[in-house]
Structure 1
Amino acid sequence: MEVVAYTDKMGAAAGERVSVMVSAVDPKVQVSLVRLSGASLGAGGEPEACESAVDGTYASSPQSIVSGSYVVIEDDPRLRIDRGFSVTLWVMPTLLSAGAQALISKSDRDGRGWAIGTTAAGRVRADIAGAEGEGCIESSIALRDHAWHFVGFTFDGVDGWLCLLVRPVGDALTPSVSTSDAVWTEAPAGIESVAGVPEPLLIAGARRRDARGLTNRTFNGKIAMPRLFGRPLSQDEVMLEAEAPAQPHNRPVVAAWDFAQDIPSERVVDVSGNGLDGRTVQMPTRAVTGPRWDGSSLSWRERPELYDAIHFHDDDLDDAGWEPTASFDIDDALSSGIYAIRVEGTTSGIDFAPIVVRPRPNGPRAQVLFVAPLFSWLAYGNWRASYASAAEHTDRGRYAVECGLSGLYDRHSDASSVCHASWLRPNLHIRPDYRLGGDPHQLTADLLITDWLQHEGVHFDVITDEDLDREGADLLRRYRVVISGAHAEYWSAPMLDGLAGYLEAGGRYMYLSGNGLYRVTAMRSGGHTVEVRRQDASGLDAARHAAAGEGHISFTGEPGGAWRWRGRPPQRYVGVGMSGLGFSEEPDAGPPAGSPYRRQPGSFDPRGAFIFAGIEDDELIGAFPNVIHRYGAAGFEVDRADHALGTPRHALVLASAVGEPRKRWTPSHDDEEDAVTLMSEVRAVTRRARSDLVFFETASGGAVFATGSISWSGALAHNDYGNNVATLSRNVLRRFLSTEPFTFPAQPAPTPTRVTSDRQSGLSTDHQERDVCERKRSSSLPRGSSKSRR
């Protein structure tokens, strides 16, 4: 890409400073602030220009992506041991085929000092260099991928020897490895002292031999219990380290780093008493099993000593670290909304770095709040796999693949699951023109909802998941109506608590999403990174499953996976939860498409009459073209009501959709009861893979309206908003904005959620097989005077 940009904040309020990082081939770029809309770029238009302090021309240059995680311990005189020392550590490589990699080092860019690593052949090699020359030693055996090994290295400058011990660690079939399996190698040192370079000590990295002095040869794999000793250890002493690593000893330890300490932070704790703590760089994966893990615990909170390893990857990237190109303060006059920093090269190239402007802390508030699903934006950001097939066709795809950018739907280069996502790097999916398979998705789909609010003349504020995670219910209670994004999938525990507290206090929530409130997510406190650990997964998500014993989030210690398996399914909060995705296609079934909703008897209950004002009894909801999945208001990923999972007993199922007769939704890949692969099997369970429109009141005078479809937002603007999806949404919003409290039904009559197939249409009904239209005509409810345009 000729121009790439990102900001140091994804959300900011008036008075807050924002920095813009730009990489460009041109020596100068033009920077401006614009307000985004769903039609800005997709329809060939331009975003709305906003006068701001950042507008102007700035000097620019190319900035590179340097990925790879490691630990840095800043230089200290006690680490500059020159005449003799020993190093021990446990190592599990996961991608030896990547070539030479660093394990631990204290060297400068000219190679002076010492370094231990692996060779291209998978052997352990130690190099030393001093004023009078250099020396090296290499093991006679190679390491094995995905197996633990103990490595011990000794430099004895007095006697002039280098010694190296490599010992495989036993597995389940060979629980103990005898000393005869350890390979002890000796070689002449060649020098009497190692250069005590004033450089940091690095774990899983080494200095480049260039002017930039960056780390390279990043290790792919786990490292545990690295220790530095202030004198050469004997062979017997090194072997004791391998046999009883946790036992007290009298050997002169300079530093002993325990990766099981302070796991949620970047801090790496030295337990020797010398205070030589370090820090992680580029967010390697912590809370991972170490060499002593035996399956007796699945939580690092319970048995932290079993989680004393860190998993490093050569494609970890938490902070690109680019130099700021421009900085500015958010102007007091700027209204809350979704904006972007527009960056254009003076000769070619353009990029947009989105940013949400929050409402002024002490300023006036709107009555409506839109929560931008930042955590979901980040999860899908840089989804490398979605670019791979089109990489040769798009500059953006090529850039993402070449730079190794990844999202939470990718795997690392060693095939382990990616569990961190950050906004301090380019996120090429979070762009106002992004399409997933040709469809608006995440930000671009969310802009369709804010476009609708603007068309309705509704004044609204915008916040992000970060704000909700930090402030919870107190933030939401300032608003009469809260509206979700189109695919609000990733939620933290504080976010769920915040929504629950808001609803308990009488809030009104419009859930215009599908597959929402679904995945356990955590944000590092005060940071810029979210973490997801997938477990209890099947189907499509099985490939991204966390490794055995590593399903608990390092930031919080809570178990990852779907909220459903934590006893907090989305049905408890919004009445519906994930049930299906996309469509399974037959060879002649045509392109993927959504489906309209058929009104259910619940839509004729007097409690929900306001929702269908202006809509005829027999209208299909959303039976028209859609910019998401081409047709129908229900599609992409869909949710169903389910009393067994928490849908309130008094909830009204207003309408349902299950797909056209020859195109059926595939049941949710995490729904074990519906896990299927073949089209014939899909047809048998389609009654469970459906989308339900649901409404219910809360005991405190509030209410919830849920669409259960990602495609809902794509139907709003059809026919210049003259359609029954927009009409229905408008009816709900107007009633939710009123000061009149909702009445909790005294004797709720539950609506069954077991679906039977309608032989005529292939759509669904939750009730006995009888003529739904006849039931509608017999209703005494007032009707709208005219059919809305479709």
Structure 2
Amino acid sequence: MPGLSDLKPPSRERFIQLLTARRLSFPDKRGSGLRHFPADSHLTDWLREKGFEYDVITDEDLDAEGVAALTPYDVVITGSHPEYHTRRTIESIIQYREEGGYLIYMGANGFYWKVARPFDQPHMLEIRRAEGGIRAWASEPGEYYQQLDGEYGGMWRRNGIVPQRTGGVGFAVQGAYEGCGYRRTPESYDEDVSWLFEGVTGEKFGNFGLSGGGVAGFELDQVDANLGTPGYVRVVAVSEGHGASFRTVPEEILTWTISAGELPREHNGICAHMVVGEAPAGGGLFAVGSITFVGSLSHSDYNNDVSRIVENCLRRFLKNRQSKKIPTSLQDRRK
């Protein structure tokens, strides 16, 4: 992957994709079985097919440069599983969006684990899987603090930056590597968000794809205003038809009869939430709520409703950012 020093200075209409370099694949009779870094090739392939120029900035670049790595770009797109973040990377993404940038979160289970990385030894990375969360192993008692920076480890949800505050939605449901489709919500037909579905026919979409056979699968995110979802976003589609393997993740539960949220969520249950919105002061957010989403982009030679929705969003965000005055804080950073 190229570093920042290898990239040419971008023009304002260009955008970047943030990639997390992890390799893993599942046996998948329905398609590619790709996860993490290889799965993001579904997205970069789509960008090339649609003729969008883009730069790639890695997690290492973002941690080294901070928000300055993002501010030259009109739109920032994540990969399918941007799960692990240092304090600097996650705060930089929030700052970029809150200062007028446009963020497209193309996956799920993102902004989840807190990691440490020393600047004098950038090849090292530390994670402490403390207290809770979906994890393959757990840190032992007394090992919750990170050695590299002395901070408390574990989930960002336990460290004051809940995923909903960063990407609008946060991890809520996990199941087998299988997918299904979405159904549009009634509010998706409102004028301020209906542009996302221009050219889309019918209420249901996405019951296809190279990742588990459907656009919504494996790990799913949901909105929660109490956890920091921006007030300007709308839930425009909800997945339906998930199999028996799908369960609510532990951090969402206080007891089996009480949710961890203060109030019941709209569109509650075993499902993913797709959200979109444009901030009154500038900037915007689109989050798909599913880790298998990118595997559906190329279906039917890229001529499908999932591809159309993403293209509608990207073109709208690019057009809006270019037509509106850039906040002074971003202008200063571009000089």
In the alignment, the residues of structure 2 paired with residue 727 and residue 671 of structure 1 have an alpha-carbon distance, to the nearest angstrom, of 32
TM-score normalized by the length of structure 1 = 0.37
For residue 272 of structure 2, the aligned residue among 688, 691, 698 is 691
In the alignment, the residues of structure 1 paired with residue 145 and residue 2 of structure 2 have an alpha-carbon distance, to the nearest angstrom, of 28
- Per-residue CA deviation, residues 258-285 of structure 1 (Å, 9 max, x unaligned), is xxxxxxxxxxxxxxxxxxxxxxxxxxxx
Residue 204 of structure 2 is matched in structure 1 by 620
Residue identity in the other structure for 2:26: L
Determine whether 1:554 maps to 2:147.
yes
User: Is 1:657–1:690's contact at 8 Å kept on the other side of the alignment?
Assistant: yes
- Per-residue CA deviation, residues 445-482 of structure 1 (Å, 9 max, x unaligned), is 11111111001100000010011111111110100010
Residue 26 of structure 2 is matched in structure 1 by 436
User: Is 1:659–1:665's contact at 8 Å kept on the other side of the alignment?
Assistant: no
In the alignment, the residues of structure 2 paired with residue 710 and residue 649 of structure 1 have an alpha-carbon distance, to the nearest angstrom, of 24
Compared with structure 1, are the counterparts of its residues 701 and 12 closer, same or farther at alpha carbon in structure 2 (3 Å cutoff)? closer
Residue identity in the other structure for 1:559: Y
- Per-residue CA deviation, residues 224-253 of structure 1 (Å, 9 max, x unaligned), is xxxxxxxxxxxxxxxxxxxxxxxxxxxxxx
Residue 261 of structure 2 is matched in structure 1 by none
In the alignment, the residues of structure 1 paired with residue 221 and residue 256 of structure 2 have an alpha-carbon distance, to the nearest angstrom, of 15
For residue 231 of structure 2, the aligned residue among 633, 636, 649 is 649
Determine whether 1:508 maps to 2:102.
yes
User: Is 2:3–2:61's contact at 8 Å kept on the other side of the alignment?
Assistant: no
In the alignment, the residues of structure 2 paired with residue 573 and residue 463 of structure 1 have an alpha-carbon distance, to the nearest angstrom, of 18
Residue 535 of structure 1 is matched in structure 2 by 130
In the alignment, the residues of structure 1 paired with residue 245 and residue 141 of structure 2 have an alpha-carbon distance, to the nearest angstrom, of 34
Percentage identity across paired residues of the two chains? 35
* CA drift at 1:669: 4.0
User: Is 2:12–2:74's contact at 8 Å kept on the other side of the alignment?
Assistant: no
Residue identity in the other structure for 2:304: N
Gapped regions of structure 1 (runs ≥ 5): 1-9, 15-357, 378-428, 584-591, 677-685, 743-790
* CA drift at 1:366: 6.2
In the alignment, the residues of structure 2 paired with residue 515 and residue 675 of structure 1 have an alpha-carbon distance, to the nearest angstrom, of 22
For residue 51 of structure 2, the aligned residue among 440, 452, 457 is 457
User: Is 2:4–2:57's contact at 8 Å kept on the other side of the alignment?
Assistant: no
Residue 371 of structure 1 is matched in structure 2 by 18
User: Is 2:82–2:110's contact at 8 Å kept on the other side of the alignment?
Assistant: yes
User: Is 1:668–1:689's contact at 8 Å kept on the other side of the alignment?
Assistant: no
Residue 672 of structure 1 is matched in structure 2 by 253
Residue 609 of structure 1 is matched in structure 2 by 194
Question: What is the count of residue pairs matched by the alignment?
Answer: 309
Residue 330 of structure 2 is matched in structure 1 by none
2:276 alignment partner, SS class = strand
User: Is 2:232–2:279's contact at 8 Å kept on the other side of the alignment?
Assistant: no
User: Is 2:246–2:270's contact at 8 Å kept on the other side of the alignment?
Assistant: yes
For residue 84 of structure 2, the aligned residue among 487, 490, 493 is 490
Residue 166 of structure 2 is matched in structure 1 by 573
**Between Structure 1 and Structure 2, whose CA radius of gyration is higher?**
1
More strand by share: 1
- Per-residue CA deviation, residues 514-554 of structure 1 (Å, 9 max, x unaligned), is 1001111121213201111011116x53x622121211111
Residue identity in the other structure for 1:705: F
User: Is 2:179–2:207's contact at 8 Å kept on the other side of the alignment?
Assistant: no
Residue identity in the other structure for 2:89: M
Determine whether 1:705 maps to 2:286.
yes
For residue 7 of structure 2, the aligned residue among 359, 376, 398 is 359
For residue 323 of structure 2, the aligned residue among 740, 754, 757 is 740
User: Is 1:483–1:509's contact at 8 Å kept on the other side of the alignment?
Assistant: yes
- Per-residue CA deviation, residues 732-774 of structure 1 (Å, 9 max, x unaligned), is 00001112349xxxxxxxxxxxxxxxxxxxxxxxxxxxxxxxx
User: Is 1:553–1:559's contact at 8 Å kept on the other side of the alignment?
Assistant: yes
Residue correspondence of structure 1 range 111-122 to structure 2 within 5 A: none
Residue correspondence of structure 1 range 117-516 to structure 2 within 5 A: 358-360=6-8, 367-374=14-21, 377=22, 429=23, 435-438=25-28, 439-516=33-110
Residue 54 of structure 1 is matched in structure 2 by none
In the alignment, the residues of structure 2 paired with residue 12 and residue 467 of structure 1 have an alpha-carbon distance, to the nearest angstrom, of 6
In the alignment, the residues of structure 1 paired with residue 187 and residue 164 of structure 2 have an alpha-carbon distance, to the nearest angstrom, of 17
* CA drift at 1:605: 1.6
- Per-residue CA deviation, residues 598-635 of structure 1 (Å, 9 max, x unaligned), is 0002211211121010012x3312022x1111x22101
Compared with structure 1, are the counterparts of its residues 670 and 650 closer, same or farther at alpha carbon in structure 2 (3 Å cutoff)? same
State the superposition RMSD in angstroms.
2.3
Gapped regions of structure 2 (runs ≥ 5): 258-266, 326-335
For residue 596 of structure 1, the aligned residue among 153, 162, 181 is 181
Residue identity in the other structure for 2:27: G
Compared with structure 1, are the counterparts of its residues 708 and 470 closer, same or farther at alpha carbon in structure 2 (3 Å cutoff)? same
User: Is 2:77–2:105's contact at 8 Å kept on the other side of the alignment?
Assistant: yes
Compared with structure 1, are the counterparts of its residues 741 and 608 closer, same or farther at alpha carbon in structure 2 (3 Å cutoff)? farther
Residue identity in the other structure for 1:638: L
In the alignment, the residues of structure 2 paired with residue 674 and residue 453 of structure 1 have an alpha-carbon distance, to the nearest angstrom, of 43
Residue 634 of structure 1 is matched in structure 2 by 216
- Per-residue CA deviation, residues 667-699 of structure 1 (Å, 9 max, x unaligned), is 1244334779xxxxxxxxx94332000012224
Residue 260 of structure 2 is matched in structure 1 by none
